[in-house]
Amino acid sequence: MSDMQKTVLDFIRENFIMGRSEVSLDPDESLIESGVMDSTGVLELVEFLESTYKIKIEDEELIPENLETINNIVKFLQSKGLS
């Protein structure tokens, strides 16, 4: 697991599934369809990513292909020039 993937996973665990130990996170599972995050959670995630990685996420980038799964999030961050 990359540092970036671990950072994102830790944020999601701490903010969306704390106290729900039965929830397992597959890096390719939809965070919204699995009930881990809702639309407000996506906005919290975006705020976290922007502040942690010092990037700007544009409105047109707020699409499932970028933010729906942990692996999609990591690929999106890498597309922004992060590694």
pLDDT in tens, the chain (83 residues): 799 999 999 999 999 887 766 667 899 999 999 989 999 999 999 999 999 999 999 999 999 999 999 999 999 999 999 98
Q: What is the pTM of this model?
A: 0.90
Query: Looking at domain 3-13+29-79, does it have CATH number 1.10.1200.10?
Result: yes
| DSSP conformation letters of 12-68 | HHHHHSTT-TT----TTS-TTTTTS--HHHHHHHHHHHHHHHT----GGG-SHHHHS
